[in-house]
Amino acid sequence: MQVHFDTLIIGSGLAGLTLALNLANTQKVAIVTKRTLLDSASSWAQGGIAAALSTEDSPDKHIQDTLIAGAGLCDTAITKYVVEQGPAAIQWLISQQVDFTKDAQNETGYHLTREGGHSVRRVIHINDATGQAVQLALIRQTQAHKNISIFENHIAVDLITNKKLLANPLNQLNRCHGAYILDIKSDKIITFSAQNTVLATGGAGKVYLYTTNPDTATGDGIAMGWRAGCRVANMEFIQFHPTCLYHPHAKSFLISEAVRGEGGLLKLPNGERFMPSHDERAELAPRDIVARAIDFEMKKRGLDCVYLDISHKPISFLKQHFPTIYSRCLDFGIDITKQPIPVVPAAHYMCGGIITDQNGMTDLNNLYAIGETAFTGLHGANRLASNSLLECLVFGMASAKHILDQPNQESAALPDWDASRVTDADEEVVISHNWDELRRFMWNYVGIVRTNKRLERAQHRVKLLHEEINEYYTNFRVTGDLLELRNLVTTANLIIQCAMQRHESRGLHSSRDYPNTSSELKNTILQGRGAVGNHLSY
């Protein structure tokens, strides 16, 4: 079965929906998502969106805060571009009926909060459930649009490029023609032909044992782009969110950065604060510093967790500003108005990804990457809090403009997926076992603090897993679980390769063997195999 669209968007987070809505007035658009439109990391974002909106703020201040957090590796031109587009991006969301939290006392008319690494209050939000509220508003617009087709419970198998179409693709201009997509419910693989294909699949938090990410965050877009020949960069910079709720039944529940921004204090079990001894900014230091401080205190003292205390604030304030956190913690017997919240660091965000330009273009013609899947140069070695949703908006709009400016191209004849030489798997337990092994050794060996020995062990393990899974993929019919595991192993390998190449400690990459920060500023770039296309310069 084959279907054709002007633009195929793989992923349904904020970047993908923003792009779709900015294309759909003149294009036929397909959105492919593994579960439902609401199942994305964007929906889980609590804090908000950073933008210079008030008179006490300015683009220059926002740029400077971003550059400081990025530890020398932010692309200054991209940072300036994204920050300057911020206010317009927020106005676009307001035009889409996104109802941000109001504050009559603020000149902007909206409540702005402050998070770690920000010098002023600039994070616009919807209480403590910004991502979900924004997504719901855009989903309503998306579902109502006649030119947008939605394919839920569909997972991408791989991209279709010239390498798959031509017997001898050498010296041919490589481009993307679409993707093979598995309908999870019917087990049928559909050929999606498209003028342009966009990877907006989010990050790969599920490569780690502990993560704030949803189950869908399995590095699909990064792995597919790499296999198609795209370069990737800075995969070693994994942001571990300092404060994930520590409870045996609280799966991946994030305690927003805004809790610390509004006065929450990190404490040891005896009630003693520890952040002032790690950084002069204390609880408002950037995430990498706070996460390492918590990791240090836990290992030094043999603790299972530390505590985040905001119980000194008025009850009415907490219920108004953090209704989701208040309610969820109460479900687990924790009353944040009376007691501190047990927290641990967890894998949260990838600062690296597929290399793109200011328009979201990758190394392959007609292939774009936006959102957490992409490496734009905005985040450097450490993302500033609440810049991620801003990046999704800005590059979703930029990619839409670039796509609309391109001339139509003749569609190539695409071959159907060939499953004639595979059989049903007889040992699916292999998938669950390998998934568990991968996540555990990535947590233990490629976590918050790394060593050469740990990375070598991880590299050895991932090589064995890669060989086993490729053999499985070659011989058996694909399933959603197999595709996710295959992508996770590929992404894990890229993270390990990048980490082994960085011989310093910078931002989110902390190495005991290389504790100092080098004076040389460079990105870690891994070359894709066989990509002949745009040849972006970095």
What does the alpha-carbon distance between residue 312 and residue 320 come to, in Å, rounded to a whole number? 15
Tell me how far apart the alpha carbons of residues 396 and 370 are, in angstroms, rounded to a whole number: 7
Helical H segments across 476-538, by residue range = 480-501
**Helix (H), strand (E) at residue 159:** strand 154-161
φ, ψ for residue 245, nearest 5 deg: -55, 125
Radius of gyration of the chain (CA): 22
Cα 90 to Cα 46, 71, 98, 183, 318: the distances in Å are: 16, 27, 9, 35, 25
Strands (E), 319-417: 341-350, 353-355, 367-369, 374-375
Tell me the one-letter amino acid at 268: L
Distance, CA of 515 to CA of 511 (rounded, Å): 6
Number of H helices, E strands in the chain: 15, 20
Question: Cα(415)–Cα(55) distance, rounded to whole angstroms?
Answer: 57
* Neighbour count for residue 30 (Cβ, 10 Å): 24
Q: Which of 240, 221, 241, 242 is nearest to 232 (CA)?
A: 221
* Cα 9 to Cα 19: distance, rounded to the nearest angstrom: 8
Return the residue matching tokens 């905001």: 310
Catalytic residue among 122, 175, 260, 287: 287
What are 51's two structure tokens? 């933008």
Active site residue 287: yes
* Residues with catalytic roles: 287
